[in-house]
Amino acid sequence: MNEIVYLNGSLIPRNKAFISVLDYGFLYGFGLFETMRAYGGQVFRLEHHLSRLAHSAEKLGLPIGAPALKGAVMDTIQANKLSEARIRITVSIGEGAMAPDPSTCNKPTVLILAERYKPYPEKVYQKGFRAVVSSIRRNSQSPLSKLKTANYLESILARQEARAAGVDEALCLNEKRLLAEASMSNIFLVTDGILRTPDEESGILPGITRRTILELASQLDIDTLEQDIRLDELSQAKEAFLTNSLIEVMPLTEIDGKPIGSGRPGPISKRLMAAYKKLVFTEEKMI
């Protein structure tokens, strides 16, 4: 795993890769990242990930050469001879003065890691994830909302709550007590045959997979709504699922110990799971 990493323009062995102790990504969490999945050596929706990264970097005033990153990602995958892989790009504002002053940072740090990705076994998808509601809230008013920043601690703490409860995921409400997302994924639910998901203003990360699912739903003539969703609406939903670039579409079948719908993956979830797989397969063949 990660034998060769890309660091600031060079492909080097992982044990030779070093970052400054004054890097603001490490000291202050002043950085961004993207997690992507490769199938057959091709990164699914790489352009979308790079454009989210570029957009977030612009918001933070972080100068990154997003176009050059495409080649760097592919080089890292090839250097590690990977086919099915998890890839992470991390960009920080770089090294600066010890006291927090980003104007002292002159050169961003760019790190790309890639390792073999082994998906969850099929039986996990057939059973679905169980989740609890986290005590951690998303803040839709935060300047970091919508950005995939190196400040990932809230998500990690929420995930730890899930682990402590013996389940797979933790759902985060926002400051208005509306449903936002899960610790590391977006959420969808189905009521009255309509696919619903919290809107982009609810404090979520606008997931690349979320966007893909909304596109697929429209192609499959499934009605969709991006809107405010209350927690009790999730409990009463017929089906629900979670999405991210690694797990794709994972049915969510239980919340706080109670089944969602029949407690099994629902028909719309299954259609979208299959459509997503088909899309990945098609795009892989096209590149």
Ligand X SMILES: Cc1ncc(COP(=O)(O)O)c(C=O)c1O
The answer to the question of residue 90 lying near ligand X (CB under 6 A) is no
Q: Which is nearer to ligand X, 46 or 105 (CB)?
A: 46
Q: What is the DSSP code (8-state) at residue 121?
A: P
Cα-to-chain-centroid distance, residue 230: 22
What is the distance between the alpha carbons of residues 236 and 239, in angstroms, rounded to a whole number? 9
What is the distance between the alpha carbons of residues 107 and 208, in angstroms, rounded to a whole number? 28
Task: Give ∠ CA 133-212-123 in degrees, rounded to 5.
Answer: 60
Q: Are 54 and 64 in contact (CB under 8 A)?
A: yes
Q: Which of residues 215-234 bind ligand X (CB under 6 A)?
A: none
* Ramachandran assignment for 101, one of left (phi > 0), alpha (psi -120 to 50 degrees), beta (any other): beta
> Binding residue for ligand X (CB under 6 A) from 145, 245, 253, 269?
245
Half-sphere exposure at residue 198, Cβ-oriented, CA atoms within 13 angstroms: 33
CB of 154 to ligand X, least distance (A): 9
Q: What is the DSSP code (8-state) at residue 143?
A: T
Q: Which is nearer to ligand X, 95 or 241 (CB)?
A: 241
Q: Which is nearer to ligand X, 42 or 245 (CB)?
A: 245
Q: Are 222 and 238 in contact (CB under 8 A)?
A: no
Q: Which is nearer to ligand X, 70 or 264 (CB)?
A: 70
CB of 152 to ligand X, least distance (A): 7
> Binding residue for ligand X (CB under 6 A) from 42, 140, 155, 197?
155
- Tell whether the torsion through CA atoms of 20, 73, 34 and 47 is positive or negative: positive
The answer to the question of residue 269 lying near ligand X (CB under 6 A) is no
Q: Which is nearer to ligand X, 56 or 243 (CB)?
A: 243
CB of 9 to ligand X, least distance (A): 26
Q: Which is nearer to ligand X, 211 or 270 (CB)?
A: 211
> Binding residue for ligand X (CB under 6 A) from 2, 90, 244, 269?
244
The answer to the question of residue 35 lying near ligand X (CB under 6 A) is yes
What is the distance between the alpha carbons of residues 116 and 122, in angstroms, rounded to a whole number? 18
Site string for ligand X, 174-213 (x = CB under 6 A): -------x--xxx------------------x-xxxx---
CB of 265 to ligand X, least distance (A): 19
CB of 96 to ligand X, least distance (A): 26
Of 170, 172, 158, 160, the closest CA to residue 130 belongs to 170
CB of 203 to ligand X, least distance (A): 10
The answer to the question of residue 160 lying near ligand X (CB under 6 A) is no
Give CA separation, 275 vs 185, 238, 256, in Å: 19, 20, 29
Task: Give ∠ CA 172-242-185 in degrees, rounded to 5.
Answer: 55
Give residues in contact with ligand X (CB under 6 A): 35, 155, 181, 184-186, 205, 207-210, 243-245
